[in-house]
Structure 1
Amino acid sequence: MNTITYSYNTKNITSGILHIGVGNFHRAHEAAYTNNLLAHQDQSNWGICGVSLLPSDKNIVERLRKQNLAYTLTVFGRDNRDEVYKIGSIVELIAGYEDPEAVLRKIESSSIKIISLTITEGGYNLDKETGLFNVADEKIQEDLKNPKNPKTVFGFIAEGLRRRKETGNGGITILSCDNLQHNGNTAKKAFTSFIKEQDSELAEWVNLNVTFPNSMVDRITPATTEQDIERLNKKSGDTDLAPVYCEDFIQWVIEDNFIAGRPAWERVGVEFTNDVTAFENMKLSLLNASHTLLSYPSFLKGYRAVDQAMQDDDIVQFIRTFMDVDITPYIEVPANTNLKLYKQTLIERFSNRAVSDQVSRLCFDGISKFPVYIVPNTMKMLKDDKDLKRIAFLIATYRHYLKYKVDDNGLAFQIAEPWITKDDELIIADDEPLYFLTLSPFKSLDFSKSEKFLEQYIKFTIDIKEQGVGRVLKNVLS
C-alpha cells in the first residue's frame, strides 16, 4: 500500500503549538489535522512541540526519537478502503521527566501561541463530588510549595506562564482536547485555581492574557499493541516503531477564542464556532455515553473487543434504544446535522472491525467517565420522571464489575480505576446494593426521587449475580 507522505520540509517548520500528552489520540487527531495544514506554506509557524511529563511515556518518546519524530497513521475505512499517511507535524519532542527546564523555556517562548492538552478526563484534578480543584492533593501541594521545580502539569504551566509574564512574551491559549463537556471551562477552572493558590499576581495576568476555548474532539483511536505494530507495518511496508491507527471518521469543533492567534485549521476540516455546546452535548451524550453503556455489560458477557460485542444483537439493541429513547429527547441538534444518520454512523463506527477498541479500555476509569457521560442526562431523566431501566441496569453492571471481578464465563479480571478513593473502596466492598449509589460519581444524583429506579436497580444487582449479565440484559430489552 502506498503511503501518503507530507510534502513540507520539517526543517522549515517552527513550533507554534506546545502539546502536553503525545499519545495515540493526539497523533491521530490534532497532529493529523496540523500535518495537512502544514502543506500550506503560510502556515509553517504552526508545527507542534510535543511534551511528555510522565516517566511512563519513556517508551513512546524513545521510539519517536529514533525515527526523527515522524510516524505512520493508518486510517481504516468503514468501506474497507484504507489509507496510510506519514505524519511530520510533531517537529520537537521534550521529555519533562528528564529535562524539566526545557519544558519551561518552551512555554516561555514567544513563538508558542497555544498549549494544547490531552491529559485524560481525570487529569484535571477536580473533585468528583464538588467539582472543585483538589488543592489538598499531595503532588499539588508539593508543586505549590516548589514553583521552580514542578512535577505536575499545573506546576509546569504555572511556572512557564510566570516566566512568560516576566519576559513580556505575550498571551497564550490553553486548548483542552480531552473528552469533557466544556473542556475549556474545565481547564480554566483547574489551572486558574492552582495559580490563584500559588501566585495572585500571576492569576491577574492569566485572567487578562490566557484564553481557554471549549472544543469537541472525535475520532476512535485504539491503543497500539506490539502485534498491531507488526500488522500495521506489514500493511504500510514501513518499519515504524510507533505507528498509530484509527477510523476514517474525524471531527473537531472549536470555539474561536485564541488570544495569540491560531492555525487556519478550517482549511483542513476543523469547524470554528462561537458556542460548541450543541456539538459536544450530542457527541458526549451519544458516542461517549454509549461507549460507557456497552462497556460493562459487554465485558461481563465475555467480550474483549468492541466489534465482537457489536455482533451481539442484544448489545446493539440496548445501545440503539438508549440513544433513541433516553438520549434523543434531550439533544439540541447542531445546524446541518442529520441526527438519525449520526446515530447510525455511530453503530457503524463501533462495529468497524479494523479499529476495534478493547472493551477494557472503555471500562477504564469509570469513576471519571460516569459523571461526564452518564450523570448529566440521568439528572434530566430523574427530573422528568422518565423510565430509568437502562441506567439502572448499567449501574448494576458497574457495581458487579467493581465488586466481584468475574465475568459470565467465570473468568477473573483486574479492574483499572486510578482515581478511586478509599471511601469508594469501602462502598464497593459493602454488600448493600443501595449503598453503592453513594459512590463518588453518583453523589449529585438523588435516586430517592424514583422508587421505580431503586426497585429495578436492586433487582438487577441480585439477578446479575444469580443469572449472569447476558440473561438479565434480555429481560431489560423485553
Structure 2
Amino acid sequence: LYTICVRGIEDGGVVEKNIISSAVSRVLDATTEWESVLSVGRSNHLKLIISNTTEVGLVLLEEQVLNRVPESYPGKLLAVLYERFISLGSEASKVVVIATELVPNNGKVLHSIILELIAFNSLADSFIVWLNEHVYFCSSLVDRIIPGKPEQQLLKVIEEELGYTDDLLIMAEPYRLWAIEGNQEVEELIGLQGIDDGIVVQPDIEIFRELKVRLLNGTHTLASGIAFLAGIETVSDAMSHTLLKQYISDVMHKEITPSIPYHVDDAEAAQFAKAVVDRFSNTFIKHLWSNITFQYTTKLKIRIVPLIIQHYKFSDQVPEHIAFGFAAYLYYITAKEVNGVKYEITDDKLSYLNSLDQKDFVHAVLSDESLWSNNLSAFNGFDLAVNGYFNYITNNGVIAGLALLK
C-alpha cells in the first residue's frame, strides 16, 4: 500500500484528497528471481504488460535472450513473450503491451525493437506469427505531474491529517491523462473502461500529443524566458502576475490553438487550455522556470517552430506573442544575468549561438536553418517583430515589453 496525495486546482477549485493505492501486490527482481518472472509469462491470467523503462531503456541491445537473464528491458520482454509462446502456444490468451516512455509512437518503437531482437536470436517464424496474433503493442501518452515526496513542511501537515506516516507517500496534481492507442478489442482486454475519466482508449491518440506538446509544453517554453527574466521563480507564481498571466492566456488562445498542425476541435482545445491554466496555478507544485529553460533552443524547434509554419499558411500577420517569446529567448541567451545575478545556461546550442554575428544576432539566429530546419526570417515580418521586441526588452526590461502586447 502507498498514499497518493492529490493537490492542486481543477475547474478553478482547490483539490485536496488522499488515495490509498493497492495497485502493487508484489515486486520481482529479474536479476535474482528470473524464473518467477518467466512464470508470470506462462500464466493465462496475464492480460496487460506496461513498459515504463524510460526513453533511455527503449533501445536495441543485440543480445541473446534465451537461457539467461537479458540485460535490456526489450530483451527481458521478448524472453517472457517467447516463454509464453513455448508454454501455451495457441492456447495463450491475448496480451496487450502498452509503452509509456516519452518517445513518439513508443509502442511501435518497442515492437520494432522486439522484431529486430527476434531476428538477432534467429527465433522461429512460427513465433512471429504467434506474436502477431496474440500480442498487441500499443503506443500511449501519459500526462500528469508527479513531483514525488512533498517538502518537509507540507509532509508534516499531511501526516498529521492522515494520522500515519508513509515512506512511499507521493504527491500528484489532479489532472491526469493516459491516452492509449488501440481498438475496441484492446479496450476490452485491458479492462479499464470506466475506471477513471483520465483513461482514454482510441485508434488515434495524436490529438492528445499535439494538445500537450503545443498548449502545455509550448506555452511553458515561450513563457519560461519571460518569467525567468522577470525574476519570477515558479510557474504558479507567474499566475499571480497580471501581465504574465495575460500573456499565457493570450498566446494559447490567440496564436497556439489556431496554429496546431492537426485538426483540433475548438471546444476541445479550449477545455485543454483551461486545464493548463489550472495546472499552472497549482501552488502545491514548485515548478521552476529555470528548469523549463533547459535545452531552450531544442524545445523551441520541436514545440514552437511547427506552430509558426502552420500560422503563416493561413495568415500573413505576425504572431506577436510568439515573436515576443522568441525575443525573450534571445535576450536570455545573451544577457546571462538577471538583476545583477549571473545564471547558468543549459543548452547544447549555446556555444554555437555565441559564435554567431553578435551585431546582427537576431537575424543571424532566426535565419540559421541548422538551428530550426527553416529560415524563420523568411516569414513575413517575423524577423522585424522579434528584433523590435528584443531591442525593447534590452532597453526597458521584459515586463515593460509585455505591456506592449495587445
- Same fold by TM-score greater than 0.5: yes
Residues 99/304 of structure 1: CA separation in 2 closer, same or farther (3 Å cut): farther
Q: CA deviation at 1:452?
A: 2.0
* Structure 2 SS opposite 1:212: strand
Q: Does 1:87 align with 2:21?
A: yes
Return the letter of the residue paired with 2:174: D
Counterpart in 2 of 1:387?
318
Return the letter of the residue paired with 1:297: I
* Structure 2 SS opposite 1:242: coil
Counterpart in 2 of 1:219?
144
Residues 377/119 of structure 1: CA separation in 2 closer, same or farther (3 Å cut): farther
Counterpart in 2 of 1:353?
283
Q: Identify the match of residue 221 of structure 2 among 289, 292, 302.
A: 292
* Distance in 1 between residues matched to 2:378 and 2:173, nearest whole Å: 41
Q: Does 1:194 align with 2:128?
A: no
Q: CA deviation at 1:388?
A: 3.3
Q: CA deviation at 1:409?
A: 2.6
Q: CA deviation at 1:73?
A: 1.2
* Distance in 2 between residues matched to 1:345 and 1:329, nearest whole Å: 18
Q: Identify the match of residue 261 of structure 1 among 189, 194, 203.
A: 189
Contact kept, 8 Å, 1:124 with 1:187, in 2: the verdict is no
Q: CA deviation at 1:144?
A: 1.9
* Structure 1 SS opposite 2:14: coil
Please list, as runs of the form range in 1=range in 2, the aligned pairs for 1:267-286 lying within 5 A after superposition. 267-269=195-197, 270-286=199-215
* Distance in 1 between residues matched to 2:284 and 2:18, nearest whole Å: 14
* Structure 2 SS opposite 1:91: coil
Counterpart in 1 of 2:274?
344
Counterpart in 2 of 1:47?
none
Contact kept, 8 Å, 1:266 with 1:272, in 2: the verdict is no
* Distance in 2 between residues matched to 1:223 and 1:428, nearest whole Å: 35
Cα-to-partner distance string for 1:194-236 (whole Å, 9 max, x where unaligned): 3454433669455554433344444343343543544433443
Once the two structures are overlaid, the 10-residue window that deviates more, 152-161 or 261-270, is 152-161
Contact kept, 8 Å, 1:223 with 1:357, in 2: the verdict is no
Residues 178/407 of structure 1: CA separation in 2 closer, same or farther (3 Å cut): farther
* Distance in 2 between residues matched to 1:355 and 1:108, nearest whole Å: 39
> Larger C-alpha radius of gyration, 1 or 2?
2
Residues 159/324 of structure 1: CA separation in 2 closer, same or farther (3 Å cut): same
Q: Does 1:430 align with 2:355?
A: yes
* Distance in 1 between residues matched to 2:235 and 2:143, nearest whole Å: 17
Return the letter of the residue paired with 1:74: C
Residues 299/400 of structure 1: CA separation in 2 closer, same or farther (3 Å cut): same
Contact kept, 8 Å, 2:215 with 2:252, in 1: the verdict is yes
Return the letter of the residue paired with 2:210: N
Q: Identify the match of residue 175 of structure 1 among 86, 91, 98.
A: 98
Contact kept, 8 Å, 1:229 with 1:241, in 2: the verdict is no
Residues 259/351 of structure 1: CA separation in 2 closer, same or farther (3 Å cut): closer
Return the letter of the residue paired with 1:115: I
Contact kept, 8 Å, 2:28 with 2:36, in 1: the verdict is yes
Cα-to-partner distance string for 1:402-421 (whole Å, 9 max, x where unaligned): x458452333444556xx4x
Q: Does 1:470 align with 2:403?
A: no
* Distance in 2 between residues matched to 1:268 and 1:372, nearest whole Å: 31
* Distance in 1 between residues matched to 2:219 and 2:39, nearest whole Å: 39
Q: Identify the match of residue 236 of structure 1 among 144, 162, 165.
A: 162
Counterpart in 2 of 1:22?
none
Please list, as runs of the form range in 1=range in 2, the aligned pairs for 1:21-40 lying within 5 A after superposition. none
* Structure 2 SS opposite 1:456: helix
Contact kept, 8 Å, 1:232 with 1:243, in 2: the verdict is no
Please list, as runs of the form range in 1=range in 2, the aligned pairs for 1:34-113 lying within 5 A after superposition. 70-78=1-9, 79-94=13-28, 99=32, 101=34, 105=38, 108-110=41-43, 111-113=45-47
Return the letter of the residue paired with 1:293: L
Contact kept, 8 Å, 1:114 with 1:173, in 2: the verdict is yes
Return the letter of the residue paired with 1:321: D
Structure 2: runs of 5 or more not aligned: none
Cα-to-partner distance string for 1:269-324 (whole Å, 9 max, x where unaligned): 33333433444433433233222232332223222221101111221121111112
Return the letter of the residue paired with 1:83: K
Cα-to-partner distance string for 1:113-142 (whole Å, 9 max, x where unaligned): 33324556x6587xxxxxxxxxxxxxx57x
TM-score normalised by structure 2 residue count:
0.74
Residues 447/233 of structure 1: CA separation in 2 closer, same or farther (3 Å cut): same
Please list, as runs of the form range in 1=range in 2, the aligned pairs for 1:325-344 lying within 5 A after superposition. 325-330=254-259, 332-333=263-264, 337=267, 339-344=269-274
Return the letter of the residue paired with 2:26: E
Residues 404/264 of structure 1: CA separation in 2 closer, same or farther (3 Å cut): same
Residues 339/229 of structure 1: CA separation in 2 closer, same or farther (3 Å cut): same
Tell me the matched-pair count: 379
Contact kept, 8 Å, 1:113 with 1:260, in 2: the verdict is no
Contact kept, 8 Å, 1:297 with 1:397, in 2: the verdict is yes
Contact kept, 8 Å, 1:427 with 1:435, in 2: the verdict is no
* Distance in 2 between residues matched to 1:383 and 1:164, nearest whole Å: 51
Return the letter of the residue paired with 2:217: N
Contact kept, 8 Å, 1:124 with 1:186, in 2: the verdict is no
Structure 1: runs of 5 or more not aligned: 1-69, 126-139
Q: CA deviation at 1:450?
A: 0.9
* Distance in 2 between residues matched to 1:87 and 1:407, nearest whole Å: 45
TM-score normalised by structure 1 residue count:
0.65
Q: Identify the match of residue 232 of structure 2 among 303, 314, 336.
A: 303
Cα-to-partner distance string for 1:138-158 (whole Å, 9 max, x where unaligned): xx57x2256566555444444
Q: CA deviation at 1:82?
A: 1.6
Return the letter of the residue paired with 2:62: L
* Structure 1 SS opposite 2:25: strand
* Distance in 1 between residues matched to 2:64 and 2:392, nearest whole Å: 53
Residues 268/260 of structure 1: CA separation in 2 closer, same or farther (3 Å cut): closer
Cα-to-partner distance string for 1:426-456 (whole Å, 9 max, x where unaligned): 424423445545587733x442531522333
Residues 451/191 of structure 1: CA separation in 2 closer, same or farther (3 Å cut): same
Counterpart in 1 of 2:244?
315
* Distance in 1 between residues matched to 2:215 and 2:162, nearest whole Å: 33
Aligned alpha-carbon RMSD (Å): 4.0
Contact kept, 8 Å, 2:243 with 2:403, in 1: the verdict is yes
Cα-to-partner distance string for 1:316-335 (whole Å, 9 max, x where unaligned): 12111111211232464559
